[in-house]
Amino acid sequence: MTAAFLAILVGWIAILGAAFGSFFNVVIWRVPEGMSLISPPSHCPKCGARVRPFDNVPVLAWLWLRGRCRDCKAPISARYPFVEFLCCAVAALYGASILVGGWIGFASQTLNWSDFAEYSAAWEAAVAAFEADPTQTTALTFDGYWAAAQKAVALSFVWAFAAYAALILGFVEWDKGAVPKSLVLFAAAVPGVGLLTILTLDGGAFAEHCGVFFASVGLGAASTALFWRAISRSERAEAAALGALWGFCAGCWGAALVAVLLGVATAVRRKTGRNVFGLLVFAAIVALAVGESVWFATR
Ligand SMILES: [Zn+2]
């Protein structure tokens, strides 16, 4: 019962992640161009034909269209399904990690497998009591499951959005060489909104959450100061936002590592002219999530 429920929940989180990925493709493409996110609706850049709703299914539509526009057969970049797949995988990873082991960050203090096992045990006991005495029906309730499921979905996306923000900044930098202020503000807001979400879910540990949060995010952002002169003026806010995101995911012990990532990104930039800092932060967040999941699973 518990295992099937958790598998369905992770699947649902993964589908939601893929849908976010589909939307972020639009963000990466349109925001730097100053275009509206809503209108015009998705269309082929070559022939202008509108994308049909069933051809908008993340990852799968690109596969059944064989990477070509349904109308004019112009090739569609593999970037689109790639971003959708990454967003799907990140959400599923955080979902599974939070549900099965408990995340080492804030989430481990708010939710883990035993929450569900307890609800499951309570539910099975209620079923047994009902079978013994069919007049006793009041104890049969899914409230505990439902509350824990909502918590799991919300927490998964608190962490997934930190990775998504780094991914968006990374790809926009890769494409355009610069990031609009609106996207930097979005990335900087993610840790703050994330903290508020965590406090809403688990207000009891307020002081603990806030102390770790400000230390981690602050240290991550401050680490970029080491490379202050190597980063161009316009990119300092972006670098600080990416550092804060990394601190949010890695905690204060990992926050200083942002300086290493920025050092690598600076070296790559000197060689290739490309700013890969955002993509490196994204890769680091995913590596951290995989590493901690494996650690929890094998503990
Ligand atoms: Zn077309």
Report residues near ion ligand 1: CB below 5 Å.
44, 46-47, 69, 71-72, 74
Q: Residue 48 and residue 51: Cα distance in Å, rounded?
A: 9
Report pLDDT digits (tens) over 170-188: 999 999 999 999 999 999 9
Q: Residue 254 and residue 246: Cα distance in Å, rounded?
A: 8
Q: Residue 183 and residue 167: Cα distance in Å, rounded?
A: 11
Report pLDDT digits (tens) over 90-126: 999 988 887 766 544 444 444 555 666 676 777 777 7
CA distances from 201 to 37, 57, 78, 111, 205 (A): 30, 31, 38, 10, 10
The pLDDT value recorded for residue 105 is: 44
- Which whole number is the average pLDDT over 1-24? 88
Between the CA of 84 and the centroid of ligand 1 the distance, in Å, is 20
The pLDDT value recorded for residue 135 is: 76
Identify which has the larger pLDDT, 253 or 214.
Answer: 214
Report pLDDT digits (tens) over 224-237: 888 888 888 888 99
Between the CA of 55 and the centroid of ligand 1 the distance, in Å, is 12
Domain that holds residue 82: 2-298
Between the CA of 86 and the centroid of ligand 1 the distance, in Å, is 25
Structural domains counted in the chain = 1
Report pLDDT digits (tens) over 49-93: 998 988 889 999 999 999 999 999 999 999 999 999 999 999 999
Q: Is 50 helix (H, G, I), strand (E, B) or coil?
A: strand
Does pTM top 0.75 for this prediction?
Answer: yes
